[in-house]
Chains A and B, each alone.
Chain A
């Protein structure tokens, strides 16, 4: 019912309260303007919205709420339909208001102190982890405190027009998974619609490639100048922020592969003290793999690898048997370990570390990434590189 949508803004005003957590000034101002509606003082509400669009002339949301307020006053609740050439744009703005309101009213899990269960452990070099929750249209920045995670900032974000689950080039979807920022692209070299710049991520990652997923150029970027931000589903698959917020998030992003970007259709949010329940088994599996390698029991070591999933398993196994025969001892040290459980895939985790390998005839330091999958109660490596 159209009416309920317009009244929606007013309803928000009645139920608003609690603590706002987001730092976004724009969002706070939008929601405060809606909040003013609860006082049912028409002139004041209108003034507050006029001030908002004065400060943010490209705020589509500000104009929409203003239109709703005036249309309600005019008794023409369905007036918006006349101008809704694009119903998706209208629905998108309503959704954006809903998402922003959820966050500002403290209804987001992060505001209640929860963290995504996918963040199991981060390397000391990973100062910040970006966690994108499509179900909230929100990009969170968590600080890695060494033992846990602390919410630093969060931003309204836009994902692909067709939603999540990127599979093919041009499907206008955003990939779900564990990614890392790879580089930075200057805004001057990009079309206007990307805003002040862009951070590409490593889609397709090793797992995507295993599944023959295609496409490229998934970035975190800004917005075209005519919009303050885009509606929730409006990119070609990228994560798009408002330009203000894109400039703000830059301080948390490194382009040396040490900024993970975990993108989920909707995280499972848990209390930070529940983290150990998830991280302990992961560490145990990894330590066992390490011990079995050091034991030079090649069969035991190979039992951590999935013959069906691993490419060239036969050659890999043969080499291990051959090499291990020449070893008198093997020592493995794992540094900068990070473990993220993979969003959208049950019982899969991505483990990254710097591996220091020492043996009687060899010494090397390698960066490694493994994808572990648990099948029939057993964790096995399905990709290593």
Chain B
């Protein structure tokens, strides 16, 4: 290979750390003082002040965060890391500790840990994760267009699928977890720019009127694909109306109207809390809920059958649960991985795999299932938390990624 390895490339990228030093909720005025001291470089004073306040509120995240920032500035990186780690566990809803912790990992060259940490931060905020996924999906689409032109590729451009959010983030709004997410299929302008390389109209799973193509909104996606057979979830009457309804209804029943003084001091990424009132489900929503329940059952059945095939050491049946697009870990190709699985499954005298405690989220034709996996063989026994990612191919869910 002529180009230098990634290792060198990454090493040469300067890790620029921009610490987020906006105070978190809590001892707002006091943390202000602490940050004022930090700004004046009076680190010892800042530290003393923080420690004094922590005596009264040892769990306060804003104070702990400030303590970590001071430790960092004083060069006590290990101490800062420990505090950040603690905060990611006790307050997974705060992005800042994840972010700063990731910087520490990156500095020591542990890019994997840094990536994992930042991904965790995203996972704890489904809305941010979705927005980020949408952003990267658009970049990937633009990249695809460029590649098709670079390589005269006959591979058709896949339609850009962007996830539209239907409800406000429960972490911030306090509503029920796992908000249903509506997938909006967007026929992007870039496929037009492809000209002759554009896949033919017939290849497009979803047709949309030209004047709608540049709009990426929940409302648009609902209007523009009423006849689509590919969609797995029925649409609510109008996502946009619904979101509006939620916001309107939320105001009078809000449990907590935040003190405007305090709101100002809340960390920037966390918007003003809004408490959402219960919305009476419409008939359509009820249908949607039933449909999702059916999808969830299908996923659970798939995992059970997958675990059975594994337990039976029936490699072919086991592998049939995976998509051809499955991405194995450790940079293995699908073929290499399949070979490896053949070896690993057959060599065991017995295997027992039992999945349980499923946590399922479905986004259109993608799904993620977290579950607890009990594994026992003649050599080994454990229970781990596993995540399987699925894509729906035809009407079958197939595994595309496996994470531990």
Contact = CB atoms under 8 A, between A and B. Distances in A.
Interface in B315-353: 331
Interface in A175-205: none
Contacts, number: 116
Contacts of A95: 2
Contacts of A74: 136-140, 143
B150 A93 contact: yes
Interface in A149-190: none
B147 A14 contact: no
B142 interface: yes
Given A83-B147, A83-B151, A73 B139 contact: yes
A277 B3 CA distance: 37
Interface in A4-21: 4-5, 7-8, 10-12, 14
A3 B6 contact: yes
Interface hub of B5, B9, B142 (most chain A Cβ within 10 A): B9
A5 B148 CA distance: 18
Contacts of A14: 9, 12
A64 B147 contact: yes
A75 B129 CA distance: 14
Q: Is the contact region of chain A dominated by helix, strand, or loop, or is it mixed?
A: helix
Given A84-B153, A89-B152, A90-B151, A64 B146 contact: yes
Contact of A60 (B6, B150, B331): B150
A76 interface: yes
A79 B143 contact: yes
Contact of B150 (A1, A4, A63, A226): A63
B258 to A, nearest CB: 35
A70 B6 contact: no
Given A14-B9, A71-B140, A76-B140, A4 B4 contact: yes
B8 A61 contact: no
B44 interface: no
A80 interface: yes
A8 B138 CA distance: 23
Interface string A355-378: 000000000000000000000000
A1 B152 CA distance: 23
Contact of B151 (A8, A11, A86): A86
A11 B7 CA distance: 11
Given A83-B151, A84-B153, A89-B151, A4 B1 contact: yes
A257 to B, nearest CB: 39
A67 interface: yes
Contacts of B136: 73-76
A182 to B, nearest CB: 34
A69 B12 CA distance: 17
Interface hub of A70, A73, A85 (most chain B Cβ within 10 A): A70
A226 B139 CA distance: 26
B154 interface: yes
Contacts of A75: 136
Contacts of A73: 136, 139, 143
Given A1-B1, A4-B5, A67 B155 contact: no
A98 interface: yes
Given A67-B144, A73-B139, 7 more contacts: A11-B8, A63-B149, A64-B147, A70-B146, A84-B147, A85-B151, A85-B152
14 contacts: A5-B1, A8-B3, A8-B4, A11-B3, A64-B147, A66-B143, A66-B150, A67-B144, A70-B146, A71-B147, A73-B136, A85-B155, A93-B150, A226-B152
Interface of B: 1-6, 8-10, 12-13, 136-140, 142-155, 331
